[in-house]
Structure formats: structure tokens, C-alpha cells
Chains A and B, each alone.
Chain A
């Protein structure tokens, strides 16, 4: 039996001397120059709604729910919910209106996206595996519903590398109020090399990337900082020169130079003050910045500021060659809740969250478009699962892993609707042909020039892929 040898990753201890310097600093990906097909897109933004955004209150119009509002809900099967027993039918508290030439029906709370409705590709029949937040979140970020697998951003960076060695290829903009379920596991490299893990950037923080600048110190000054680096460069250079044939040593010398360059690039990328006022307004930035009032219940102004600022920073990073940006709306389920997990009151919580998100996302799409970047940038909007058509209590909705919505935009993706849910928004309309995260990821990789079945890394006996053993390219969407 012969088995094709693929990439073995593991101990690289002895094998470095044969590698080129470039490999060590990870500018190139494994597929650089050898893509499986001509790419339509070069970079990806993943917008993640932590806590599970309701599809039936945003993008998936279900008039039947309004009609039967308050009546007992009978989908014709026993329903097992995460927290509660199924309540009555619960019509969305918001009106839906048609947008764009296609007349796509969208809720008032995502109205800002109406302007770009025709560019968006909606998939209303996405299915998950379970209604547990951690599993659902991991499934959407890594393709597996348990930990130990690389994030989609890590896979893409691993395949394509970076276009700018002075910035990380995979950047994460978490909700600054806390990390969603699974924390950093959602952008972990797992068994891929460490340079492909997501780098957390916190725009608005004094030090937006961990250790980007010297810490508060009794002794560090600009002068001795520079002098120290100069001395270090000489000393490490001498060390490397005395040990020829080991590229790691020179790579480490170079890593300090890149670090210095990153200080400048990152600062520049995060400096949104220089953006024209109309751009800042388009993204809904608040004059008081991240310090905007966020006390009491979730409020629209704060959500708009937080999400909009991240979208604007995402655009600036993409412009500078970052390959994959993950933007989070929502944190963990601590108190006070600042995420989409609206068990108690959809109306109170979803309105500000969705309006904030929609404004930022819409601005990002329009802004990329006016810069000619939308054609090769894919935007994916996702969440761990959807929410139920029936009520929990009187105003909330429980988890719905059986069907929910994703939408994509840009990077050669055609606008339209691909896949419908049933009349309740409870399950896929056509139960034989639902869409999975594997299909979404296969499609994104296809647009990036990657055959999702051929980008594999062997780990513990299995050739692992982002799409596990599944995934079909949604050909209608990209044709």
C-alpha cells in the first residue's frame, strides 16, 4: 500500500538548515505560486455574531410567524430546546421591507444593509450540529465542533501567506468587552505552525497588539530602547555568523527588524483619526470613541461605535495586505450580557446589536467597493446558530441549530438567495440539500484559488482539512 506523503508537521528541530529564510518568517504560504485554480479573491473578512443572531428577526423574512403570533406553535415534530420548552409562535417585533432591485426582504434593524442588498448572497438554510454555544462557535470558526483544530483564518494564512511581512497575516478584532465562547481557541493555529494563529488587535487600546511597544517602565527610554536593539542586532548577528548553516539564527536577527517595522505598520493601520470625516461618519464612529456610554441595557450608539470602528480598522488592515480578518460582535455570557444570546428579550437586545452591526458592515461593503477592493475581498457574516421561531418567556428566543442564515459578499460572489428555510424558519425548506459550514468554507477557498480537498495537513494519522470530509462549492453563487 502506498500512501502519498503530504506535509508532516511536528518537530522541526533538526530540519531548519535546509529551509529558506522566507519560510521562517512566513511571508509565503504553502500554495504561494501554486494555487489550485486562478483566484477570484485575495482576502477574507469574517464577521462573527457571538451568542447566536436571530435569522428570523434580521435577514430571513417569515410572515407566517407574524400571522400566527401568540398561537401555539406546531412544527409537526417534537422539539427539544436548549433552555426551555417551546412557547407560542413569535412574530418578529420588526417590519420587513424590500430592498434593492431584487426586492430582498430585510428587517428594519438591518436596514442600513439595504443599500447593498443586491451585492449580498444569502444562505438561509445553513445547519449546525448542536445548540451548545461553544460547539457551534468552534464549528463556524474551525469546521469542527470540538477544540484542537485550526481556525479558517489560520488555514487561509497557511495556504496563501501574507502580502505584508510587517503585519500578521491573520488578525482578530475581538469584542473588547470580553472573548466569546472558547476564547482564543476560535483563532488558534492548533497543529499548524504558530505563525498562523490569529493575532489579536485591540484598536483604541494604548497597546493594540500585545507587547507592540515597551511597557510602562522605570528604566526604558526611547534612547536606550533603540541602543539596546542596535546592540542586540550586532550580538545576535555575531552569534549567527559563528554558527553557519542555521537559518533560524539569522531569522531571529531579522525578526527584531520586522518587529520594529510592525510597530510602524500597525500604528499606521490603526490610526483612523486621519480618515476623512465622511468616512468616519459612514462607519458610525462616535466622537468619544471606545469610551462611549455602554451602561444599562445594550445601546445602539455604543454598538455602532464598537462594530463600526472594527470594520474601519479591518478595511485599513486589508488595504495593507492582511489576509484574513475576524471581527467579533458580542462577548461571553457574563453580566451584563453584551451579545446576541437573546433568551430574555430579543427586541431590547437585537435592535441595538443589529443596527450597530448593519451600519458597520454596510459601510465596509460600500467602502471596499469605492476602493475597488470588493471584487477580491470576501465578506462572510456568520454566527454559531440561529434562534427559534417560538418564544421563550414572552420576548425571548431559544437556540436554533437546525437552521440559520449566513451571507457572503464580494470576491466574485454573486448576490441573491441560495437556500431557503421552511415557512417557520425552523428547519431547511428542502431537507435533502441544506448548506453546512463546510460548503461555505469550500466556496470561500474556491474563490481564493484553493481546492478545499487538496489543502491538507497530516495530524495524528489523518490528513486534516478545514472541511473535514465534507464540503461542496456552492457553484451557483460563484459561477
Chain B
């Protein structure tokens, strides 16, 4: 009945509307039609998505689809059919079109569907801010004063309200021994000691217990772990090779320190985005930027490939995406990353917003930077030098690569044959390179190396074979002196009877590369041979003397008297297997080719190649390179003299280049909007900005294109911590609730958008958000305190059939949530119970693995680590976290994956966990320590031992039945087996 009348009403309305329209003429495409299509259709029917092959981007495509739009006949047009009717099929992803919108389209088609030829439509959703998380934070839902007078926690007020609404009756308060264990774990991640339990049972003063825990340094350690989980913190890069980040830990300590000192939340946020700009001179302002850098980094993509190639630019784009996503997921609980390929499908975030955020971070990379220990003037000098050196190096590289490219284009055929000959006849590089002097900064530092042939010999030829080392790309002729002389004598000290066989000290000697230098003997016999370098060859901004081999040959070359001779030198580097005095006379050296015919061919080819090179290589290449080198030298020398300071791995625009990974020196990269998120289809240049996610929020940071990267991050920091930003306060309030209660009010903690879940207690969430925001100290601790002081926190975790029927998942907190210890809590608790936990705070992380093959791709071998190593007995938050090969035990126990932001730990129950907690070497070792501790306690009876151990591990006394089982076990199998069982108890791993 209702339906019919509605329909009638509807058609009547349309008829009237048509009439009105026909008077008015055709709807204006630009003003009336395009906005509807862009808002309602283009998100799917654009050029990229082309859903159903129907594209509404331009006239040709729109009218080209058969019966899609039939000019002059709206009823025959599929467009109208799809959007009208009782249950219109379109749009799929938003509200139906209004009758007037439908009528506009109808009239537009009826009047000929006029569409200007050049008008291209794009997906253009309006910013719909009408969503719970984007509305202003609501206050004043109750009179706080009255509640306080009645001694009711506002937390309980809101929770009780919902419970009553849902006809739920809260369970009673948990017993004291349950409460102290729960709150101690929740606030410190550690179990209470038996003495602490006794004291609390005697005087159950909840206030002072809570205050003691909040004031303990373990509070920061526990809450920092929560933050590091969302901050995707680890100490290796991830991806290929997975190299360690040895300077990541200061950020971890910063987080612990911040929670312990109860840093105002605004400042905590600001420091992590723009601390270097906002708080100059404060080390924490720099260390905090470890947040931006904490996620994975593609070493190969940045350092080996680099931004000169498309693959390197893709790596850099993904890298920035990781940073941008982290900032918004963590601080704003907003999923900006969804707007990379198209406008956000649910939330008011446009592609432009997303790429504006890329622009904010366009000048920074992840690298080591100084946070303290370097005076400001030195730091300034360092930055200047870094910049100058970087620019010169870039210029040098360009000249060099351009020249090489030109040559390579003409020589690829020759090059292949040359490579082939070398492959076939080259003896290759054996590891015993030769003799290597110490390194010096002075080119005229005289060095010598000397052979003792054992007895006087008559030699006809002395051969000096240059060394070969690819260090610094030098290769052949490595360290061969620029000027030198060859002398022989029968006096080891070279005081008397010296004969000079070759004096090459007058002019510079061209690098012989792979050519052997032959020196004729002078007929008379000698026992000692000395080669003295008077002018050294440059290595890399320093100087050395190196030689691959020396041979002393008799007539006809049949015997080499030098083989195995005793070698002495003014100084030498003994670095087996490569360098060492003995390697000078071992007949092992780099031979270019072993076959003479091949060598002849090679020389021919090389000559041809040289000729081509000379012809095509730009003539001024060498002089330009030399000029740059001359400029670089003094800069490098100055740079080396600056002290290194204390480093943290953080976001930075200034760092020392490595391979193709180069600092921007503060100059922002050009960021373009990428159509479909594809690097090969760039669009407009984007300037720094943010999504305007609440009424009155800005979107663009600067007018014009002249801006500074630090200022952009500063603007972002101030956007994030603005008073009227509804997301940031709700986000952290929700997290604090989740960290305290084990389940957040909005379960999708990183997504408060339309794709996420909604708060179970919106008023409560807003109350907490406003409380934190408006607190002059913006104290997170005081929010935690407020929560744990409530009745709802102190409820028992027991089951209740009636409540469970209504709310099995405990969404409304009628009981407390029993939880399992997290992976770290389990490990830390095992250490506590075994009496092994080392409470040392801060500093470099301990390793619970042995690194094998560190040179290339480190293998992190956990099974080789000795669980009894006391260095590894610190709290798990100080563990060196490896990304690609995470600790297997902790991973099995649902440890966070540091490649992504993890707002809540999963809690799975698997057979592999049982295997781990039962059989892991760590648990075995700690069972041994626990057993020793038990014996040392000098308890008389088995019963006393069982009581003591059980209480230590579980915070409770065993029941009679439990006691009986444990006594039998202890008596029959001893303390170790007993301890192993204790560490596997449900009552140990679960917190009621």
C-alpha cells in the first residue's frame, strides 16, 4: 500500500519536474550534469577502472557504448535504467541518486546529451566529513563533578550506561591476588614478586599499587613495546640482504624515556615528525625521527640501483609510501595509502592529498644522522661539506657515465671478446694478493720492502708484478709506486755495498697495470733485494705501497730464488689471506691471461678499443674529471677531520652517500601525482599538504613552489596536533584503552574511516580524547591511571552464561578479558622466574642469534645462540629485532611483524606453540636455572617447594589437586623436569 502510493507520488513529482524543465531548456552540462556524473559514476566508470567497459570520462567513450546514452531518448539509455527504479542497480558504492539528479540526467539526454568535445570528467567525490571520527569531539555528556562527588569513575559511568542498555549485569570484582597480577602485567609486562603480592594482600591499597607501577621504569618498557609494534620498529632493513641497523636503538630508548617521563602527547607526536625543526638543540628532537625511519628499507633498490633508474625510483616511491602510511595510520588512524591509485573509496581522501604527503617527505631518506656529541658549528660545517661533496660527486659521476656510455655503444662487440678471453685464459684473482704497506696521508712517505734470499745469489732478472685489488674500483696496478728504486746488497741493513739496479725516482712512473716490470741483474751476486717507494700511489684519498709478487730469476729463468724468501718491510698490513709480506714471494699473483696467443689477441683488441675510445670519448672528459677531483680533495680532507658524534638511524635530508644512495641535502625531490599509482604515468607536480579531514583543516601548506622541507614537516606536525583535529586524540585515547584492557573501543585501531569499525562506546572515547587533549600536561599516564582505577578494569574474568548469550565477545566489558602473555612477556617472565632477568635499561640491543656470513647477506642463526649467555638475559624490548628472519620462538608466540604496523597482537593457539614452549632451548636452559633457584631456597618439604615455585610463576597458590600432581612430579623426576612443567602451565601463560 505504502509502496504504491509512494510510486504514484514519485511519478507525479517527476511529471511536474519534467514540465518545469522543458520550460527551462536542457540542463547545463558543466553546471548540472558533470557534477552528478563525477560524484556518482566516475569512481568506477573512469578510464582506468572502466567497470563494465562503460567509461564516462569523455564524450567519445560515453556515447560510444552501445545504448549507454542514447541522445534524445532517455528511456532507451542504460544510464537512466541503471540509476532509477525502486532498487537502482547503480551506483554500487554510494547512495542512490536523488529524484532530481535522475531527472536532470533524463532531461539532459532527452535534449540531445550535449557534451562539450574537450570536457573530460574525472572521479571527483565531494569531501564527505559526515562520519563519526571526523566530527568534532563531543563533550559534556555528563556532569563530571557530580560523578566525582559520588565517587563514580566517569569510565564506569559510560560503561555501566551501555551495560544497562544491553541488559547486561557486570560480574563482581576479581580477587586481590588476581588484580595485582593483572595490573602488574598490564602496566609493566612483568609478574609481581611474591613479596609484592603479600604486601598487597595485607594492605589492598589499589591507589598506591597503581601509582607505584606507573612510576616504575618497567612501565615505559612495557608501553614502549606497544608503540614499537605500531611503529614497525626493527633493527635490520628487511628485503634483500637484510643488513643490520646498528644505530636504530636510540629511538627505542627515546620511546621508553618518553613514556616514563610522561611526555605531553602533542610533543611526542611533533618530535616524531619534525623534532629537528621544532626543537633544535634537543637531542630527542632528532632521535624521535627514528619513527619515520623505523620501517623496512630496500637496500638494493636504493643503494645498488638508485634513482637514476626506474626501478630505483619505484623503490623510493614505495619507501615514501611506507613513511606516509605510517604517519597517518599511527597518529590519525586514517588510511591515506588507499588513495595511491585512485581517490579513497570510502573516506574523504583524494589522490592529491596522498601525493601532497609524498611532497612533505620528498627530501628525507632513512639513514644514520648525528643527534648529539657534535658542536653546532661543526655540524653546520659538516652539512655544508656534505652538500658540496655530494654535488661534485654527482657531477663527476655524470661526466664519467656519459663518457662510458658513448664508448660502450661502439665497443660492445670488442668488449665481449675481451671478456671472453679473460674468462677463458685469465687465472683470475686468487685471494693471496701480495704485500701492502700501512696507509698514510702523505704521498712522499717513503716505504720499502726487502727480500732475504738466504744466501748470495747471482740473478739475471728481477721481476716486479703489480698487485690487483678492486678496492675503490682500482684493480690492476693497485698501490704500484709512482717513483721507486730497486737496490741489492749483501748487507741486510743496506748500509754498505749498495748497488742500484733501477732508479725510477726522477719522474712519475705510469701505472703499469698488469704489465710485469723487469729489471736486469748486474752480474754480481747479492743476498738482499730492497724496493723503495719514494712517491706513493693514491688509493682513495690516501696513499699506499703494494706489490703483487717479486721474482728473482737465474740465467734462463729456470729458478726463482725469491720463492719463499724472508720478506721484511718498513711497515706492512698483515691481513690474511689477501695481504701479507709472505704473499710477495708465493708465486701467486694476478695474471691477466695464461696463454700467449690469447694475450696477443687481447692486446690487439685493447689497442683497437683504446683507439675507438680515444675517438669517441669526449675530449675534455679527463680534464674535467681531474678538475673535479682537485676540488674534491680538500673538501674530503676537511670532512674527515669532523668528529662523528652519536648517531641514530632516522629520517634525514643530510647523510653520507653510499653507492647510488645519495642525500638530497634538503632539496625536495619533484613529486608528481601518479595516475593509477604508476611511475610511468606521472601527472601534475604536487606541493606539500594534507587531506582536510575535518571542518576548517587546511590542505595545502604553502602558496607557490618555494618551500623548505623542514617547514613542510613542521606544518604536518602542527596539523597533526591541532586542537580541533578530531582523529589524533581519538586515535591515542582508543589505543590507550586497548593497551590497558586488551581490546580497543574501536577494534580497527589504524582505521577510523568508513572501512573500519565503529566505537562500541563513542561517548566514552570522546571523553577520554578530550581529557587527554585538554590536560595541560597531556599526560598519557593519567589516562592509564583513570582506566585502571575504574571498577570495570577490576572485574573478574569469569564466565557468565546469561551475559554471554547477549554479548559473547564481551564488547561491552561486563567482565575482564583473560589474556595470554605476549611473546615478550612470556620470555621476560621465564627469565624472572628463573632468577636470570637482567634489568639493565637502554643502550645497544642484545642479540639472541649468531650472525654468519655478515659480508653479504647476514644469516641470523638463532639456533647457534647460547641461551645461557647472560648478555641475552635482558628484557625482550632490548632485543635486536631482525626483519627477514625474526626470532622463531617469539614469532610462533604471535610476536608483531615489524614489516607492518601492528595495533594489537594476535592470540593464536597452535601445536607449534606447544612444541616451542615445551622444547625450546631457552625454556630448557631456564628450567635448569629455575631448578637451581628452587634448590637454593632451602625449603624443607616437597610441598613447600611446590607452593613456592607455583606462587612465583603464577601469583597464586596451588589447589590441593594441583599440589598433589606437582609433588609427585617433583619427587619422582627432580627440580628440572618440574620447572619445565611450571613454565608450560596455563596458569603461568594466562592472566585472569
Contact = CB atoms under 8 A, between A and B. Distances in A.
Interface stretch (A268-276, A366-374, A423-431, A457-465): A457-465
B449 to A, nearest CB: 30
A259 B915 contact: yes
A85 B408 contact: yes
A88 B992 CA distance: 70
Interface string B770-796: 000000000000000000000000000
A17 B799 contact: yes
A18 B808 contact: yes
Given A220-B924, A256-B914, A460-B329, A179 B885 contact: yes
Contacts of A88: 412-413, 416
A134 B239 contact: yes
Contacts of B906: 9-10, 12, 193-194
Given A1-B754, A238-B959, A183 B242 contact: yes
B314 A130 contact: yes
Contacts of A232: 981, 984-985
B907 interface: yes
A234 B751 CA distance: 43
A168 B914 CA distance: 13
Interface residues of A, number: 109
B751 A460 contact: yes
B126 interface: no
Contacts of A134: 239-240, 298, 300-301
Nearest to A223: B973
B918 A211 contact: yes
B969 A227 contact: yes
A15 B810 contact: yes
B48 to A, nearest CB: 10
Interface in A9-34: 9-18, 24-26
A128 B190 CA distance: 48
Contact of A185 (B298, B853, B884): B884
A394 B416 contact: yes
B973 A228 contact: yes
A211 B859 CA distance: 19
Interface stretch (A93-101, A144-152, A295-303): A144-152
A404 B883 CA distance: 29
A58 interface: no
B751 A334 contact: no
A1 B900 contact: no
Interface stretch (B361-369, B503-511, B960-968): B960-968
Nearest to B927: A219
Contacts of A251: 909
A85 B799 contact: no
A12 B563 CA distance: 74
Contacts of B240: 132-134, 181-182, 332-333
B749 A332 contact: no
B857 A332 contact: yes
B709 to A, nearest CB: 24
- Of A10, A25, A261, the most chain B CB neighbours within 10 A belong to A10
- Of A25, A70, A146, A215, the most chain B CB neighbours within 10 A belong to A146
A394 B420 contact: yes
Interface string B315-345: 1001000100100010000010110010000
B390 interface: no
Contacts of B420: 394-395
B346 A227 contact: no
A80 interface: yes
Interface string B145-184: 0000000000000000000000000000000000000000
Contacts of B920: 211, 215
A130 B311 contact: yes
Chief secondary structure at chain A's binding surface: loop
A393 B423 contact: yes
B305 A219 contact: no
A64 interface: no
A118 B754 CA distance: 50
B798 A243 contact: yes
Contacts of A166: 911
Contacts of B416: 70, 87-88, 391, 393-394
B897 A188 contact: yes
Contacts of A148: 897, 899-900
B300 A132 contact: yes
A267 interface: no
A5 B623 CA distance: 68
A132 B298 contact: yes
A325 to B, nearest CB: 17
A102 interface: no
B886 interface: yes
B126 to A, nearest CB: 13
Contact of A252 (B747, B892, B901, B909): B909
21 contacts: A3-B755, A10-B749, A14-B817, A17-B809, A18-B804, A18-B809, A86-B412, A129-B314, A178-B859, A179-B885, A181-B239, A185-B238, A185-B899, A220-B977, A235-B981, A245-B800, A249-B986, A252-B914, A394-B419, A461-B347, A463-B755
Interface of B: 93-95, 238-242, 296, 298, 300-301, 305, 309-311, 314-315, 318, 322, 325, 329, 335, 337-338, 341, 346-347, 404-405, 408, 412-413, 415-417, 419-420, 422-423, 738, 742-744, 747-751, 753-757, 797-801, 804, 808-811, 817-820, 853, 855-857, 859, 863, 883-886, 888-889, 891-892, 894, 897, 899-901, 903-916, 918-921, 924, 927-928, 931, 959, 961-962, 965-966, 968-969, 972-974, 976-977, 980-981, 984-987, 989-990, 992
